[in-house]
Structure 1
Amino acid sequence: MRRCRPVTVALLALLATLALAPLARAQTTSVLPGTSGTLPGSVATTTVVPPTTAAPPPSTATIQTTATPQTGQAGTSTATPASDGPGSTNDSKLPVLLLAVLGAILLAAALAIVAARWWAYDPPWLVRTRHATAEAGWRTSAAWAEFRDWLRIGR
């Protein structure tokens, strides 16, 4: 009985990591500078962080400035969710889900291949194909060796 090769185990670990990575990344989002960070159909929340400044030089008078969020009437936020038009939906999770499903299918196929090799399952057509390609390789290498000898000896 054959043992699993370390390369096969490493390949399976890599495939499992790739299959699970999109799921982990789907939970985190980042906002680029200059964008609002709100998704269509979501409620906008505004958080303003005061800018950090160096310590003021020693003087007799210090001036403190703080940033305040822009608000509409009665202190409510005026941010509205962006819309692409009537009937638009947020499909940002669909590609991540499709990649996760594809990764799971590839992982299942890799596990099936490893299991078949582990228990030495060889269908008859695979045995015949392996023998035919090995013989074709042997014949090709013999023909190439004859050609090299013909070139080296000098026609």
Structure 2
Amino acid sequence: MLLRAATVDDAHGIAVVHVRSWQAGYRGLMPQHVLDGLSIAEREAGWARILTETVRGSQTLVVERAGTLVGWASFGDARDADAAGTGELWGIYAHPDAWSTGVGHLLIDGVERALVDAGHEAAYLWVLEGNERAASFYERHGWASDGATKVDRRPGMVLHERRHVKRLG
């Protein structure tokens, strides 16, 4: 497996992983009509835009296996006012066919190293309430819930999330 920085040419592969991982990982946690309505083409356009911008120190890493993109992670400076000065893991996903193959470990390790290199001593991420698979993954990698929660209102759904934090370095 190869871990590397994403380029705009990765937009399609990232979009495929994004949609397929949401459809599998969030089944029963998000409304099914929302998951069924996810569009790879729309996500690809969004990712092409994201990958050409640099906002809040944003970076995206990808993992390839046999030339196929199988995972990605996006991260940068904290977006939440109460966490200024820390890093944030904005999203990390692996294609369902690549779950439990080490893709996530490679990504989270790469993200943590990059956040340290950017000068962050600590970082946080948000986990969808009820997503025990993800929470367990983060906990195995030293991230712990700090008790903070938030509500994320999106079209057709209201998401409840828990914050996990980690001291880096």
Higher relative contact order (CA 8 A, sep 6+): 1
Of Structure 1 and Structure 2, which has the larger fraction of its residues in helix?
1
The TM-score with structure 2 as length reference comes to 0.18
